[in-house]
Amino acid sequence: MAASDALFAGSIPDIYDRLLVPLIFEPYASDLAKRVAEAKPQLVLETAAGTGAVTRALASSLKDARIVATDLNQPMLDHARSRQSGDKRIEWRQADALELPFKDQTFDAVACQFGLMFFPDKVQGYREARRVLKPSGRFFFSVWDRISENEFADVVTQALATFFPQDPPRFLARTPHGYCDTNRIREEMSRAGFGTVSIDVVDARSKASSARDVAVAYCQGTPLRNEIEARDATALEDATKQAEKALAERFGGAAVDGRIQAIVMTAIR
């Protein structure tokens, strides 16, 4: 993973929350929160909380539980806090998921939506989640399936490959969609001490009012922006237009609808 893959700063958090969250994250946030709620936890840790899509879903689903929402990126956490600043059940805390600042066996459940792909040491991330779970506590997390199963991300990646033919930006394929081998995930979770793991493939639809919104969401609201600007600091808008054109040709220029697919894991300590 490139260093820029985990850099969510500047205007990225706002665009991410405004466009990308409703585009691809909200359906899975609701699904993950429902899974957590079925375990009836009293204290939940969320890692890689981002701008709070899952935090909001958890707060809605868990009326009596307390939530500790953490993220490595303070700008993302600040944006999330601004959306739920009045909810006293939520504690916001900057934290590294590979070195959690919590005592052993503290939480009933740990939840992480689309964060594991960014962890430089996946096994250590699993170990830390297991360490802070109480006996029989549950770890719920999701990762994106391969990019070919996620149509918008695939089209954007191919479009930018034509825009930068000598050095195509590969952030989407490399990181968000680069950790989807379920055999590898099971093996790494086993190394971290998890024995019981269930895996579900979850399909959903990704919808937006225009191809432009999708192009801006991916090109300007994710670390893909860092890759584009590293190649040409003046090319962000032109690269976005290239992605918009490819999306419109594939899905139409007005309201667009594409397939997305994720893998959701539940592990018991």
pLDDT in tens, 39-88: 999 999 999 999 999 999 999 999 889 999 999 989 889 989 988 878 88
Q: In a 10 Å sphere around its CB, with 0-12 CB exposed, 13-18 middle and 19+ buried, how is residue 183 labelled? A: exposed
Strand 196-208 relative to strand 256-268, pairing: antiparallel
Q: With a cut of 80, say whether residue 9 has pLDDT above it.
A: no
Share of residues in the chain with pLDDT > 70 (%): 96
Residue 7: predicted pLDDT: 47
Separation of alpha carbons 231 and 132, rounded Å: 41
- 4 contacts 226 by C-beta, under 8 angstroms: yes
The answer, yes or no, to whether residue 6 has pLDDT greater than 70, is: no
- In this structure, the number of other CB atoms found within 10 A of the CB of residue 3 comes to 9
Domain range spanning residue 22? Answer: 3-268
pLDDT, tens digit, 9 for 90 and up, residues 202-253:
999 999 999 999 999 999 999 999 999 999 999 999 999 999 999 999 998 7
CATH number, domain containing residue 154: 3.40.50.150
pLDDT at position 11, please?
61
Can you give the pLDDT at residue 30?
95
CB 218 within 8 A of CB 156: yes
**pLDDT tens digit string along 87-138?**
889 999 999 999 999 999 999 999 999 999 999 999 999 999 999 999 999 9
Nearest Cα neighbor of 265 from 162, 192, 161, 213 is 192
Query: What pTM was computed for the model?
Result: 0.92
Query: What is the side-by-side strand order in the sheet with 66-71?
Result: 90-94, 66-71, 43-46, 107-113, 133-144, 256-268, 196-208
pLDDT at 79: 87
Dihedral in degrees, nearest 10, Cα atoms 168, 171, 173, 177: -170
The span from the CA of 260 to the CA of 204, in Å, is 5
The whole-angstrom separation of Cα 243 and Cα 157 is 8
Contacts 24+ apart (CB under 8 A), 240-245: 240/215, 240/216, 241/215, 242/159, 242/160, 242/162, 242/163, 243/155, 243/156, 243/159, 243/160, 243/214, 243/215, 243/218, 243/219, 244/211, 244/212, 244/214, 244/215, 244/216, 245/159, 245/211
Per the structure, the count of domains in the chain is: 1
d(CA 171, CA 226) in angstroms, rounded, equals 9
